Amino acid sequence: MDSNRDLALNIRKLAQEHNDFFRQSLTLIASENIMSPLAMEMLLTDFGSRYAEGLPGHRYYQGNAFVDRLETMIMEMSNRLFGSQYTDPRPISGTVANIGIIYGLTSPGDMITVPPLSGGGHISAAKFGAVGLRGLTSFDYPFDVESMNIDVDGTIKLIKEKKPKVSLFGQSVFLFPTPLRDLQDAFAETGTKVWYDAAHVLGLIAGKQFQDPLSEGAMVISASTHKTFPGPQHGIILGKCQEDVWKRVQRGVFPGSVSNHHLNSMAALGVTLAEELEFGQKYAEDTVENARTLAQTLAEEGIKMLGENNGYTKSHTIVADVRDLGGGKRCAEDLEDSGIILNKNLLPWDTSRESQNPSGLRIGSQELTRIGFGPSEMKEVGHLIADVIVRKKDHGKVREMARELKSGFREVKYCFGRHEAYSYIKLLDEGAWE
Ligand code: DSN
């Protein structure tokens, strides 16, 4: 049996192997990214060992002077970047941010309207997720496969009929902006509070390449901060609303859904906000261009891509219908074996019974863009994907080509300084374990 020391060393080894695996793979999961090393460094600081419940200047612990300055700086940078009136950087994930808003703005039994799961809605908006946990009664917007968006007329009808307390928008398969402006009359007539989940597109909003929900009718935005926004695994809430609404949201966060927020990841979020203020627009532009190039390449390879009539996407995400190529499960597993990491996904016509073998693949361009892939490399990625799922080439050969392609891109871009991507930061040399 391994000694306890061996168990600890084995965990370290697993982490190093995991790093190597991702360094060598073509990484296309639409909800992931890599941090800048300056942001990663923040995760290893003493901030990660401390408590700071409450708000700057109103804490329950001593020792928070530097945390107060950090959190105040973050709120200022975030409001500047997003044009928001308020920022709460304390939710420790996107789902916790969602729980905070639900807790702040609704009571058990209230009605809420939400994007359907099969249209890419997030699980926290499902009856078996946070919405159900609060005891809300939810109604799905109708979804239009052709435009890969909610159906405007049906959504207006639903909101006017149900008069929900809150209307939630935003998906985890988020190809095109939500037509919020077309819904304004329904919002005004019913007084529903408009909440936009920007987890997937926060970096594109920061870079002014998607939509600006806060000027299109949303009162609050929730998001995670590690997808197109290339920060740590953390959450954030932005507001442009009356002060009493914002205070309720803040109470939904603390004490509603977090006691302590994670101060080291909040510091990493601060570094990423500064980097997004500097580089965010170019990063978002390149991310969207790369997604469209990859979609076009896959379509030319004969793969059915959704959203064709609207140029496939206006975000980082593209979606393939692979029912005729073996299904989502088989394709995703074959691609993983070939060094290409993405995920199978429900498409609008799938039911939740198909969740283990859905019709689709979801593909995101933001991580490869972050290390410098441009349109010509995205075309190569498209050909490698087709080698696996269309031409059924040998996985080992494709894996070698994927590694070769990735090996030319070793640096994190769109951040301060020059740093190696996927580097394993060693604090201790081997001797320190003796
Ligand atoms: N599960 C994440 C995604 O992949 O979209 C969102 O939380």
- pLDDT bucket at 146, cuts 50 / 70 / 90: very high
Q: Which two tokens stand for residue 271?
A: 């570094």
**What is the 3-class SS of 123-147, one letter each residue?**
HHHCCCCHHHHCCCEEEECCEECCC
- The pLDDT-based confidence of 409 (bands split at 50, 70, 90) is very high
Cα 129 to ligand 1 centre (Å): 13
For ligand 1, whether the C-beta of 124 sits within 6 Å is no
Q: Tell me the fold of 40-275.
A: Aspartate Aminotransferase; domain 2 (3.40.640)
Residue 33 pLDDT greater than 70, yes or no: yes
* pLDDT score for 434: 66
Mean pLDDT of 23-39: 97
Nearest CA to ligand 1 atom 4: 31
What pLDDT score does 433 carry?
A: 67
Atom from ligand 1 closest to the CA of residue 124: 7
Ligand 1 in contact with 31 (CB < 6 A)? yes
What is the pLDDT averaged over residues 264-273?
98
C-alpha to C-alpha distance for 423 and 19, rounded to whole angstroms: 7
Q: Using the predicted structure, report yes or no on whether residue 354 has a pLDDT greater than 90.
A: no
* Average confidence (pLDDT) over 340-367: 93
pLDDT at position 190 is 98
Comparing 118 with 388, which gets the higher pLDDT?
388
Residue 79: is its pLDDT beyond 80?
yes
**Which of 78-82, 94-98, 126-130 is the least confident region?**
126-130
Ligand 1 atom 1: the closest Cα is on which residue? 31
Mean pLDDT of the chain: 96
Q: Ligand 1 centroid to 58 CA: how many Å?
A: 33
At 413, list the tokens.
Answer: 């871009």
3-class secondary structure, 340: strand
Ligand 1 atom 2: the closest Cα is on which residue?
A: 31
Question: Which residue bears the tokens 């949303």?
Answer: 218
Q: Where are the domains of the chain?
A: 40-275
What pLDDT, in 10s, does the model give residues 215-264? 999 999 999 999 999 999 999 999 999 999 999 999 999 999 999 999 99
**Taken in order 351, 343, 314, 146, is the CA torsion positive or negative?**
negative
